[in-house]
Structure 1
Amino acid sequence: MRWTKVLTVGAAASLGFVAACGAPAANNTGSGNGTNGGNGKVDTAGAALDPNAKGPAPEIPGAKRGGILTVPYSTTPANFDPSDQFYQDTAVIFSLTHRALTTYVSRDGKQVLVPDLATDLGKKSEDGLTWTFTLKDGIKYEDGTPVKAQDIVFAAKRSFDPDLAANGPTYQKEFFKGGADYQGPYKGDKNWKGVEAPDDKTVVFHLEKRFETLPYFVSFNQFTPIPEAKDKKADYQLHPLATGPYMFDKYTPGTELTLKRNPNWDPKTDPARHDYPDGFHFKWGVDPIKTQTAILASNGEDATSLNWDAIDSSLIPQIEGPKKAQFEEGPSSCVIMVNLDARKIPLPVRKAIAVAWPFDSIHKAGGETSHSFTPASTIIPPQIPGHVDYVAEAAPGFKMNGQGDGDPEQAKKMLAAAGYGADKPFELVYYYTNDQDIAQKVNQVRKQALEKAGFKVQDIGVPNKERRKLAGDPKGKYNMLQSPRGWCFDWPSADSIIPPTFGTIALSQGGTTFGNFSDAKIDSEIKRIQQLSITEQGPEWGKMDKWLTENYLLAIPDYNDKGNTVFGTKVKNVHNNPNKGMPDLNDVWLDQ
């Protein structure tokens, strides 16, 4: 799942092969010894499976109905097309408005996969190449029309469209029968049968190869139903039809979104969601320091507001002291990377960038602390089975451990050895946000460090609301810092980390990847590992993680993210989801 500040839908045990484990406990000590990469014990990610879960979701003791929860945060969604969603923040918002075949619930701090629109978690054929899901009775859209299996099939087909779903996941292209060449319902083969609906209640998936984690994948927004007759292609994102407890009210792209109750949501069919607030108000592109300061003060609307940006260092005395009850911290599923376009930057120069990178100064400029991150040296986070704890070298004696401020003189020597110098500098080009103070401070530190190391820097300042789209365009002007900024596992196996971010298949969807790089050796190794059993895959993905960094360095490991939430005094029942690093908004209520 692409990182935004930061959504993944899962940390669940691989079906039938890995025993469910306890989810990592929240770490509120600020010591840097949390579950996401510090010096403490790292719990293995996991979740239970409950194919028999029924609605309604159990009531939360003491919860009250009413009020509007305001959620201001610093980044800005590119769009709200369900087919295109693979970002943390948009998926959290869609969890309020849209239902898929399966979903997750939190029980005693642990994630559990449960049926959502489906009656169970799917039935698999003996050869593992066919999965069948049956829809529940009585599911309706916000306009009162019934949800049909054909709508989920159309949504699944739509997720292949190279334009409408350019930033979406690519598992379907790899695993669904005929998916590698399919171009979606508008440009592709009208007779494609990778997913089909034999009747109004049955969805059937036909696979090229076994996909044991398919029930996790069908919890994604790409499997929220879309009636073909009501699809407006690029304009569908302006008001996607809701099946959850809330629906779009007013949406101003790049600025804000308000949600109101969906009168046709039936809680008796939904095992995962509540509808305690009357609505939600999301505001984008805000200054996180000003926002967090106001929320901690909790005057007026700020008392019913919540922010999920990383806590700024200037506010640590408050959240460690008198405002401790207004701050929630816990593990996340995300590893943040410095992405490098390997089509445009040769390997020796990529290594020089790693040697020059000012990790500590960037964190300081960004106001980040041990409450919000721990340094990383690997692509796969520590809680994933098969993780290999390694530290690669970008140059002899220079370890890439996500710490320090680099060595500009050594980087200059590496550039000289690669044929670059004062008369022929290597130019680095990237987009940065120019309408936020913190982003500008971070960019100043980054640019100065790279220039000191001998690089020429073309930093292209763009508004926050435009940057995500530009950085996610494979044809953009950049040669580094393209999307994804980081990756959050989609379930607790590295088959949801490496295949969707590296190699030819990941590139085939039309979006950006780590390195934007296609290589036969990488493709071959991914294919080899995927043919193993789930339990055998873990250690092999760990070995591949190390191999990728040591031999390709398509992205520099930066840090393991932590979830931070600051909330007003009237916002209740805020809990960090350890598999998202974000709060479960479906469980929040307001004390009016």
Structure 2
Amino acid sequence: MASLGLVTACGAPASNPGNNTPGQSGNGQIAGAEAGLDPTAKGPAPEVEGAKKGGTLTVSYNTTPANFDPSDQFYQDTAVIFTLSHRALTTFTMKDGKMVLVPDLAEDLGTASADGLTWTFKLKDGIKYEDGTEVKAADIVHAAKRSFDPDLAANGPTYQREFFKGGAEYQGPFKGDKNWDGVSAPDDKTVVFKLAKRFETLPYFVSFNQFTPIPEAKDTKGEYQRHPLATGPYMFDQYIPGTSLTMKRNPNWDPNTDPARNAYPDAFKFNFGQDIIKTQTAILASNGDDATTLNWDAIDSSLVPQIEGDKKAQFEEGPSSCVFMINFDATKIKDINVRKAIGTAWPFESIHKAAGETSHSFTPASTVIPPQIAGRLDYTFENFNGQGDGDPAKAKEMLKAAGAEGFELSYYYTNDDDTAQKVNQVRKQALEAAGFKVNDIGAPAKERRAIVGKPNGKYNMLQSPAGWCFDWPSADSIIPPTFGTTALSQGGTTFGNTSTPEIDNEIKRVLQLPIEEQGAEWGKMDKLLTEKYFYAMPAYYDKGNSVFGTKVKNVMNNPNKGMPEITKIWIDQ
């Protein structure tokens, strides 16, 4: 997620709209990321002491999901939401403050062949969709195949292309080879994965949303995201794209088959694109419905006195899996010296101030790999350490030396959020002071995530990903999907947005090493990527923040995600 801990699929963070660009615990100590394995875990999930059923939990936060197609999900916020409604072959649950991988739809955590190139999973009995029909192995196969579709899954993970047999060229069930058998179902209860090379972390990967079942006969392709069929304790009730999602109980979820999820609230309502300060202020006051509302944005600096004072019980802080980056498109900003000039001019302190961010929500970063990952190399390239307020005069000299005076920078920012507009003003002024011409393109929050996630956009920087959240606590879930060519072949975007043979060859070399030897090599590669290429600049390591009303109970930070463990929350009515 060598201790092979793993977390739920994170991928790109639900970007902080203030920076549009992520762990340290509340006591200042950085804990190692981990997750245990419990292949024999059975349902139902242990009850939370004192928990009550009933009520509606409202979750209001700033960013806006581009869609809810399971195949396309690789963001933290949608991963948390899908935890309520969709079950995969495996999943994670929190035990004693630590994450544990357990069977979900599968009976156990899978069985590998002697050579490690074939994995077999057997499904539990009695799993049904919300409409009462039975979940079959063929449905998981269809979902897995769908994750290769360049249109439906452009923003999803790409490990399947790297590891599944024939995955590099496969184009999914609608456009690809009908005889492709990298994933198959010999019967209704068995799913078989054939691999091109060993993939020791496959049991962790099949916890992703791409392995939540989709019956082929009910797959409406682009329209499926409006109401994906649920297998978890909740199902979609009403989804208004760009605005909100409400969930209600799924009458066909059987808790006796589910070792991970509790289902205490009667309903959930997610409000997207909400103003952070207004939302957090109202939650801390906890009048009316605000008393049953949760927010997972970084705490605004203006509210720190409250959460350090008499509202301390309404705030949860903890480590996160994410590093936020300043991403450059190296196919358009080809000169590393121009990229370094941008980094030299970057006004970190002013941006954090404009965004209302504090030490409760971030730690300055100098590396791609976060501190809690084994093998991480602690280094600082030149003066790029995520601190200070930039040096526009020096940056201007660097531009002149590179023969790039007046170089034009183009990027998108969220234009319907006050905080994002303040941050953009600070950023633009600093870059213009350094001699750049800035073409800042405003876009509504509900559209921006999709725009910056498409290759060949009008931007030359700040494309997706805005950072990265490890998918399991090992750097093989950080560097390959963000710097390798595979994501580009899927139609997605990467750090640098470019294909570099040296990087791909080094990724291939490290992946072939035994898992216990990879950590130090990824640390060395982290340093190489920054010093030689500088396709993206580390900005800060994220911390998980949750602000919640007085009637919202049992809010716990997931230490491998920096998000609340939402299936354990209950409402005091």
TM-score (norm 1): 0.93
> In structure 1, the residue corresponding to 2:245 is in which secondary structure?
strand
* 1:65-90 deviation per Cα after TM superposition (whole angstroms, max 9, x unaligned): 00000000000000000000000000
Match of 2:161 in 1: 173
- 1:414 and 2:435 equivalent? no
Residue 505 (structure 1) shift: 1.3
Match of 1:147 in 2: 135
- The separation in 1 between residues aligned to 2:34 and 2:315, in whole angstroms, is 25
* 1:418-458 deviation per Cα after TM superposition (whole angstroms, max 9, x unaligned): 1122xxx1000000001111000000000000000000000
1:58 to 33, 46, 56: 46
The 5 Å alignment of 1:188-207 reads 188-207=176-195
- 1:534 and 2:537 equivalent? no
- The separation in 2 between residues aligned to 1:369 and 1:486, in whole angstroms, is 18
- The separation in 2 between residues aligned to 1:410 and 1:28, in whole angstroms, is 36
* 1:458-501 deviation per Cα after TM superposition (whole angstroms, max 9, x unaligned): 00011010000011010210000000111000001100000000
Q: Is the 1:529–1:541 contact (alpha carbons within 8 Å) kept by the matching residues of 2?
A: yes
Residue 508 (structure 1) shift: 1.2
Match of 1:374 in 2: 363
User: Match for 2:131: what amino acid?
Assistant: D
Match of 2:341 in 1: 352
Residue 503 (structure 1) shift: 2.1
* 1:373-429 deviation per Cα after TM superposition (whole angstroms, max 9, x unaligned): 000000000110100000001xxxxx11000011111111111111122xxx10000
- 1:247 and 2:231 equivalent? no
Q: Is the 2:67–2:241 contact (alpha carbons within 8 Å) kept by the matching residues of 1?
A: yes
Match of 1:17 in 2: none
Q: Is the 1:131–1:205 contact (alpha carbons within 8 Å) kept by the matching residues of 2?
A: yes
* 1:95-138 deviation per Cα after TM superposition (whole angstroms, max 9, x unaligned): 00000000001001001000000000000000000000000000
2:556 to 575, 579, 589: 575
> In structure 2, the residue corresponding to 1:586 is in which secondary structure?
helix
- The separation in 1 between residues aligned to 2:68 and 2:410, in whole angstroms, is 28
The 5 Å alignment of 1:430-445 reads 430-445=411-426
Match of 1:5 in 2: 15
Match of 1:135 in 2: 123
Match of 2:202 in 1: 214
Residue 284 (structure 1) shift: 0.4
2:443 to 462, 478, 502: 462
Q: Is the 1:34–1:331 contact (alpha carbons within 8 Å) kept by the matching residues of 2?
A: no
- 1:104 and 2:104 equivalent? no
User: Match for 1:240: what amino acid?
Assistant: P
Residue 355 (structure 1) shift: 0.5
- 1:524 and 2:505 equivalent? yes
- 1:285 and 2:273 equivalent? yes
User: Match for 1:403: what amino acid?
Assistant: Q
Q: Is the 1:377–1:558 contact (alpha carbons within 8 Å) kept by the matching residues of 2?
A: yes
Match of 1:16 in 2: none
Residue 34 (structure 1) shift: 4.1
* 1:153-178 deviation per Cα after TM superposition (whole angstroms, max 9, x unaligned): 00000000000000000000010000
Return closer, same or farther for 1:136/1:563 CA change in 2, 3 Å cut-off: same
1:257 to 221, 238, 245: 245
Residue 27 (structure 1) shift: 3.0
* 1:166-220 deviation per Cα after TM superposition (whole angstroms, max 9, x unaligned): 0000000010000000000000000000000000000000000000000000000
Match of 1:11 in 2: none
- The separation in 1 between residues aligned to 2:548 and 2:29, in whole angstroms, is 22
1:400 to 384, 388, 397: 384
Uncovered stretches (5+) of structure 1, i.e. residues with no partner: 7-23, 36-42, 394-398
- The separation in 2 between residues aligned to 1:537 and 1:254, in whole angstroms, is 41
Residue 506 (structure 1) shift: 2.3
> In structure 1, the residue corresponding to 2:438 is in which secondary structure?
strand
Q: Is the 1:5–1:309 contact (alpha carbons within 8 Å) kept by the matching residues of 2?
A: no
- The separation in 1 between residues aligned to 2:210 and 2:35, in whole angstroms, is 22
- The separation in 2 between residues aligned to 1:444 and 1:5, in whole angstroms, is 18
2:109 to 85, 101, 121: 121
Match of 1:311 in 2: 299
- The separation in 2 between residues aligned to 1:477 and 1:506, in whole angstroms, is 19
Q: Is the 2:25–2:543 contact (alpha carbons within 8 Å) kept by the matching residues of 1?
A: no
The 5 Å alignment of 1:460-499 reads 460-499=441-480
- The separation in 2 between residues aligned to 1:214 and 1:280, in whole angstroms, is 31
The percentage of aligned residue pairs carrying the same residue is 76
- 1:385 and 2:374 equivalent? yes
User: Match for 2:160: what amino acid?
Assistant: Q
* 1:32-75 deviation per Cα after TM superposition (whole angstroms, max 9, x unaligned): x342xxxxxxx321111000000000011110000000000000
Uncovered stretches (5+) of structure 2, i.e. residues with no partner: 1-10, 17-22
- The separation in 1 between residues aligned to 2:117 and 2:183, in whole angstroms, is 12
Match of 1:9 in 2: none
> In structure 2, the residue corresponding to 1:186 is in which secondary structure?
coil
User: Match for 1:364: what amino acid?
Assistant: K
Match of 2:429 in 1: 448
Residue 28 (structure 1) shift: 3.0
- 1:330 and 2:318 equivalent? yes
Matched length: 556
Root-mean-square deviation over aligned CA pairs: 0.8
User: Match for 1:186: what amino acid?
Assistant: F
- The separation in 1 between residues aligned to 2:291 and 2:560, in whole angstroms, is 27
Match of 2:3 in 1: none
Once superposed, which parts of structure 1, at least 4 consecutive aligned residues long, lie more than 6 Å away?
none
> In structure 1, the residue corresponding to 2:537 is in which secondary structure?
strand
Residue 504 (structure 1) shift: 1.2
Match of 2:19 in 1: none
Match of 2:25 in 1: 27
1:584 to 519, 541, 565: 565
- The separation in 2 between residues aligned to 1:304 and 1:365, in whole angstroms, is 29
Q: Is the 2:338–2:404 contact (alpha carbons within 8 Å) kept by the matching residues of 1?
A: no
- The separation in 1 between residues aligned to 2:32 and 2:546, in whole angstroms, is 23
Match of 1:20 in 2: none
> In structure 2, the residue corresponding to 1:499 is in which secondary structure?
helix
Match of 2:408 in 1: 427
- The separation in 2 between residues aligned to 1:228 and 1:364, in whole angstroms, is 49
2:221 to 226, 233, 254: 233
> In structure 1, the residue corresponding to 2:480 is in which secondary structure?
coil
Q: Is the 1:493–1:538 contact (alpha carbons within 8 Å) kept by the matching residues of 2?
A: yes
- The separation in 2 between residues aligned to 1:328 and 1:238, in whole angstroms, is 32
> In structure 1, the residue corresponding to 2:261 is in which secondary structure?
coil
